[in-house]
Amino acid sequence: MNSSSLNSSFLRNGALLLLASLALLTPLLFFGLDYTDTGYSTAMAWLQAKHPAAALWDFNNFGSAFLAGFWFFTGAESLLAYRLQWELMIVATTLACYWLLSFFYGNHRAIALTLVPTMILAVFNSEEGLVAEYHNLPPFLCAVSAALFLRYFSRQHPDSPTKTSLLMLGSGITAAFMVFARLPMLLWCAAVYALLVFVYLRANKESAYKQDIISIAGFLMAGFLLGCGVCVGLLYARGFTLNGIIAASIKSMNAVNTFHEYANAHPELGYYPLLKSTAIRYAKILGVGSAGIVLAFVWRKVPFLALGSRLGNAVRIVLLAGFSVLIFAVVVVLADKSLGFHYGPITSLLLGAPLLVLGYIALTEWREMALEKQVLFGAAFAFFVLASLGGSGVWVSNFRHGVWLVFPIALLEAGRFTSKWLELRIVRDVLAVGAIVLGIALRIQMPYREQPTYRLNTWFQYPSLRGIASSEGRTRNAEELLKELQERGLQENDTLQAYPSMAMLYFVTKTIPWYKHPWIGQMWTVRKDLLQHEQSCAFPDKFPRFVVRAKFDPNTSVSLDANRPTIRFEAGYTPEKFFYGEYKYCHDCATYLDSLFLVQKQYAVVWENQGFVLFERPSDPKNPLPNARYHLSAK
């Protein structure tokens, strides 16, 4: 096949993949509203763009929020406009992987087909909040950096030395932004240099790799340093000083995810520290994923299941249909039993089996495998391991963000691999069908902390939420609250307090969190902010005029944590223990301290509905006080 035919095939299938991605992702933008995680990421990004001095730094998603916040300079003001950034980012990730894999596989149609279930597995899940944040932005940047880096190792696309240098420079720059977005991704840079060392040791003495490797390493490092300089320049442009950047960076590097700190303090609840939980996750996905290898072994050893036989094809169709029905049944049962989104066994199979498939192929063919393919396999494994680091949870679902290379490569390799022991093409079919069916089932039945999608039939009218549909109860309650706040004089840039875990309200109303942390759910944040604010503020003019408290209702709940205080207090967690630090990372303590503040400062309930309670601060009747306003000069 000549070069023009290859280019035509590449462009045609790339265009089809682009259209398929847009068709699959666009409908997701309009449904569901999460006040907690999505609200936190959205509010953080908006604050970084509009009020950077009011935004939180010392947490593990500062960089992602900072970069994502530049989207608001396009004029995006609504949640729907902000979600468009997420869609474009996912489409770009998909196309970057398509471009990367085309260096090593000539069948562009097959690459495009494998990336459709890959994209669905990566993003069609209950944990995905449909905004750019610190789980999905680093994998996108990593995919771009990897594509620029790995192009050099494709014999199908020889480049001039100048073009290779520019590609490596671009790879390094992108890697710097990736590390800025989430610090643990620095390990990806280490993995890239480890691959370069491997190539240098593995290549023949006459190979061009021996001559180019130092130059490539140099341009990668130059690009990385240049990217770091750009990141620092952006921080300066947003008002940060050099001393502030250094101090806050040290703070950020020392910060540990509070979930894991909470896990360290409460092993009796079944939570484990980071290293132990990671080991358990890998054991789980590889253990369950071994079912795919067992299936491949049976398919190879049972004569009537031979590929191409009529009976074998019939059994294959029945197996895939039964697997699809099982997935729908499990998802529906989980939703009905309110068990959340930890549908672990199916997810574990879809994550573990591809790893085992690639591992088996690598072990079987390593000696005969071309150096370029070895580098690709190494990069895919590194991507999978590192893209899930630094997440806020310890569940298997975090691994989904690392499937962008492992999953499609496993499908592509399984289609051509032959062995006397395993028939991997049946595993390929199970993985592809499973990823598609699971994604569809989850988005129909279990959108993120919402009711099933078919019940999200009421559209918001408030400007920041226009174009978003939610359940009737949720929409009505939120619209009533927003109208009440508007009628009582709440304006943009006013100070507001919303708790617990209800950060979306800040973005929707364009107000500033009274606490530095927009998600009131971590004890350390509430205690620190309460002490600082009470010491520096003269009551009442510096306190927020309005405080919004979320209620818990199974049909209209807007907050993840709204029901936790009742549960924890009944379990024997007393306010005294909370306040004196025995349970310093418990969400309930944050809620308790905030409620205690309202009582001590004599806030009064002025309005409520089924979902919210609105408090207003007292004021001197002779000298009514306006809303507290946020001023950059005051910070």
CA distance 574 to 553: 24
Per-residue confidence (pLDDT) for residue 463, from 0 to 100 = 94
User: Bigger pLDDT: 502 or 214?
Assistant: 214
Neighbours of 567 (CB within 10 A): 12
In the predicted model, what is the mean pLDDT of the chain? Answer: 82
CA distance 384 to 303: 36
CA distance 234 to 229: 9
pTM exceeds 0.85, yes or no? yes
Kindly state the helix (H) or strand (E) to which residue 292 belongs, with its residue range: helix 274-301
**Residue 310 binned pLDDT confidence (cut-offs 50, 70, 90):** confident
CA distance 443 to 341: 11
* Cβ(394)–Cβ(284) below 8 Å: no
| Range from 24-33, 135-144, 257-266, 528-537 carrying the lowest mean pLDDT | 257-266
What is the rounded average pLDDT of the residues 594-601? 75
Question: CB-based burial of residue 59 (10 Å sphere; 0-12 exposed, 13-18 middle, 19+ buried)?
Answer: buried
Nearest of 300, 416, 293 to residue 355 by alpha carbon: 293
pLDDT at 69 over 70: yes
CA distance 229 to 479: 44
Q: Where are the domains of the chain?
A: 464-634
The model's pLDDT over 280-289, given as tens digits with 9 standing for 90+, comes to 888 989 999 9
Tokens (6 digits) for 59: 């947490």
CA distance 359 to 273: 28
Per-residue confidence (pLDDT) for residue 606, from 0 to 100 = 92
pLDDT at 565 over 70: no
CA angle 504, 510, 511 (to 5 degrees): 90
